[in-house]
C-alpha cells in the first residue's frame, strides 16, 4: 500500500531521536526529562515542530497530552491512533517511548508525502507522564484520558518536594480543567503503540517485529517505615528501632517474594529508598520505599504481594517499627484486540518481515488506551534487552522497520469496515 525508503527513514528517525536526546537534564549519553520540567517542555516543543513540519495538526489537552492529526477521507469517523511518550526517567536512554512518538509522526508524514488520503483520520498521541518519576504514578495522561483515574486523584498528587500536581502543571503552562481530558469510548477505532521491546527476546531470535498479545499487570506501592531516631554513637544496639534496618528486610522480602511465586515472570523491585534524616551519625527514624511488582499472571502477582504483606507484619512485630503501606496502583493486565494483531502480522508479511507474538512485561499507555479502544502494540528489538539505561539501543534499521509496519497497520485499520463495537 505504501512504499517507504527504509534506509532514508532509518537515517531521519535516528537523527531525530538523537536530537531529542539533547534535551536532557543529565549529561549525555544519559537522558532525563521529568514531567513538566524545562527539558520535558523542550522535548515536547521539539516533537511538535517535527509534527507541524510533517503537516499534522496539533491539539494539546489540559494535562499536556498532545494529539497530532492527519485528516482522513471521513473526518467524522473514529480515528486510528498511535503514540507513546517523550518523558524519561533519570539516567534513561533515548529510545524508550520516543520511538513511538517520533516513529508515529514519521509514519504519518510518509503517508502524507505519498499523497495517500486514509479512509479515516490518523493521530499520533504524545502522552503526558508515562513515567512515574515525579508523582509516583505512571501513565497519568492515558489513565485520565481513559477514565482509569479521576481528576480528583490527580489533583491530590504531590511530588517529592511536596508540590501539588496542579501547581506544577500551571507553572508549566498547561491550562483548563482536568475534567476535559477524559475521552469517550468510541473516539478511536483502534490504538496501536510502537515501542522498543526492553527485553532480549527479539534480538536473540533475530525477529524484527514483536506482536504484543497482552501487557503485564503492574502494581506499585509506597511504604513508610517509622522507627525511632537518635545519635548513632549514643544509642546502644538493643535499644534501637532503626527504620533503615527494618526497610532493608523489606527490600530483601520483595526480592524473595518475586522469586517464590509459581510464575517465572513475577518481578519485584524497590527502586526508591529515601532515608530521614539521612545523616551518617543519625539513626534513621523514617524510610520511604517504593515497590514495583508485576506479572502477566494476576494470581502470581497477588501471591507475591501476600508474601510481602506477611514480611511487613513480621518486621513490625520483631523490630517495633510502624510500617504504613499505600497502594499507588494495582492495574489488571490488558489483552490485545485479535483483529489488530492479525493486521500487524499482515502488514509485516507485506514487507517480508518475520513476527513473533509475545507479552509486554513493561507497561505502557496502551494498557489504559485498551479501556476505550481496541488496542495492540508493535515491538522492535532492544540490543541485549537493555532499557532504562543510557546504553539502551535499538538499531536505526529496526526502528525504520517498526515505523513501516506501523504505517501499513494504520492504513489497513483505517480502511477496515468494522473495528469497534
Interface with a second copy in residues 308-347 (CB under 8 A): 328
Interface with a second copy in residues 51-90 (CB under 8 A): 89-90
Beta pairing partners, 292 = 220, 269
Interface with a second copy in residues 361-390 (CB under 8 A): 361-363, 385-389
- Check residue 213 for interaction with a second copy (CB under 8 A): no
- Which residues, at least 6 apart from 234, have a Cβ–Cβ distance to it below 8 Å? none
Interface with a second copy in residues 137-166 (CB under 8 A): 138
- Check residue 230 for interaction with a second copy (CB under 8 A): yes
Segment contacting a second copy by CB under 8 A, of 47-55, 72-80, 126-134, 305-313: 126-134
User: Could you give phi then psi for residue 192, rounded to 5 degrees?
Assistant: -130, 115
- Check residue 38 for interaction with a second copy (CB under 8 A): no
- Check residue 31 for interaction with a second copy (CB under 8 A): no
Segment contacting a second copy by CB under 8 A, of 12-20, 39-47, 281-289, 412-420: 281-289
C-alpha 6/C-alpha 168 separation (Å) is 41
Say whether 391 counts as a known binding-site residue.
no
Residue from 132, 381, 396, 408 touching a second copy (CB under 8 A): that is 132
CB of 405 within 8 A of CB of 202?
no
- How many CB atoms within 10 Å of residue 265? 15
Say whether 388 counts as a known binding-site residue.
yes
- Check residue 106 for interaction with a second copy (CB under 8 A): no
Provide, rounded to whole angstroms, the least separation between the CB of residue 248 and a second copy. Answer: 4
Say whether 352 counts as a known binding-site residue.
no
- Check residue 234 for interaction with a second copy (CB under 8 A): yes
> Which residue, 111 or 308, has its beta carbon nearer to a second copy?
308
> Which residue, 183 or 386, has its beta carbon nearer to a second copy?
386
Q: Is 130 exposed, middle or buried (0-12, 13-18, 19+ CB in 10 A)?
A: buried
C-alpha 336/C-alpha 349 separation (Å) is 19
- Which residues, at least 6 apart from 83, have a Cβ–Cβ distance to it below 8 Å? 100, 101, 104, 123, 124, 125, 126, 127, 191, 193, 365
Say whether 85 counts as a known binding-site residue.
yes
C-alpha cell, 31: 537522558
Provide, rounded to whole angstroms, the least separation between the CB of residue 292 and a second copy. Answer: 4
Within 13 Å and on the Cβ side, how many CA atoms surround 165? 22
- Quote the radius of gyration of the chain (alpha carbons, Å): 22
Annotated binding site for Zn(2+): 85, 96, 131, 195, 388
Annotated binding site: 85, 96, 131, 195, 388
Amino acid at each position: 500500500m505504501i512504499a517507504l525508503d527504509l534506509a532514508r527513514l532509518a537515517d531521519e528517525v535516528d537523527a531525530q531521536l538523537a536530537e531529542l536526546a539533547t534535551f536532557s537534564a543529565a549529561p549525555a549519553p544519559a537522558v532525563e526529562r521529568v514531567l513538566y520540567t524545562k527539558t520535558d517542555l523542550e522535548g515536547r516543543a521539539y516533537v511538535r515542530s517535527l509534527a507541524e513540519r510533517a503537516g499534522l495538526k496539533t491539539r494539546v489537552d489540559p494535562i499536556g497530552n498532545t494529539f497530532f492529526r492527519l485528516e482522513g477521507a471521513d473526518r467524522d469517523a473514529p480515528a486510528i491512533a498511535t503514540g507513546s511518550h517523550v518523558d524519561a526517567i533519570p539516567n534513561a536512554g533515548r529510545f524508550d517511548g520516543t520511538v513511538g512518538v517520533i516513529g508515529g509522526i514519521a509514519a504519518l508524514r510518509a503517508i502524507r508525502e505519498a499523497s495517500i488520503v486514509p479512509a479515516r483520520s490518523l493521530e499520533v498521541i504524545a502522552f503526558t507522564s508515562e513515567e512515574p518519576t515525579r508523582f509516583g504514578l505512571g501513565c497519568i495522561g492515558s489513565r485520565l484520558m481513559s477514565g482509569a483515574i479521576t481528576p480528583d486523584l490527580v489533583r491530590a498528587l504531590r511530588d517529592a518536594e511536596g508540590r501539588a500536581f496542579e501547581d506544577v502543571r500551571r507553572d508549566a503552562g498547561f491550562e483548563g480543567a482536568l475534567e476535559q481530558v477524559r475521552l469517550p469510548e468510541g473516539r478511536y477505532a483502534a490504538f496501536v503503540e510502537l515501542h522498543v521491546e526492553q527485553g532480549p527476546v527479539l534480538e536473540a531470535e533475530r525477529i524484527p517485529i514483536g506482536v504484543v498479545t497482552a501487557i503485564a499487570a503492574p502494581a506499585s506501592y509506597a511504604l513508610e517505615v517509622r522507627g525511632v531516631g537518635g545519635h548513632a554513637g549514643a544509642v546502644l544496639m538493643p535499644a534501637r528501632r532503626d527504620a533503615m534496618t527494618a526497610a532493608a528486610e523489606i527490600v530483601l522480602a520483595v526480592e524473595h517474594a518475586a522469586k517464590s511465586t509459581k510464575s517465572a515472570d513475577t518481578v519485584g523491585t524497590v527502586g526508591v529508598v529515601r532515608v530521614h534524616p539521612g545523616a551518617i551519625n543519625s539513626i534513621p527514624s523514617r524510610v520511604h520505599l517504593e515497590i514495583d511488582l508485576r506479572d502477566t499472571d494476576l494470581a502470581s502477582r497477588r501471591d507475591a504481594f501476600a508474601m510481602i504483606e506477611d514480611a511487613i507484619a513480621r518486621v513490625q512485630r520483631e523490630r517495633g517499627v510502624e510500617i504504613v503501606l499505600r497502594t499507588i496502583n494495582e492495574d489488571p493486565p490488558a489483552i490485545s484486540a485479535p483483529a489488530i494483531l492479525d493486521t500487524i502480522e499482515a502488514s509485516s508479511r507485506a514487507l517480508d518481515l518475520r513476527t513473533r507474538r509475545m507479552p509486554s512485561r513493561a507497561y505502557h499507555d496502551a494498557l489504559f488506551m485498551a479501556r476505550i479502544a481496541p488496542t495492540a502494540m508493535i515491538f522492535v528489538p532492544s540490543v541485549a534487552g537493555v532499557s532504562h539505561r543510557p546504553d539502551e539501543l535499538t538499531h536505526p534499521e529496526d526502528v525504520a522497520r517498526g515505523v513501516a509496519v506501523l504505517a501499513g497497520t494504520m492504513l489497513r485499520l483505517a480502511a477496515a469496515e468494522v473495528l469497534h463495537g
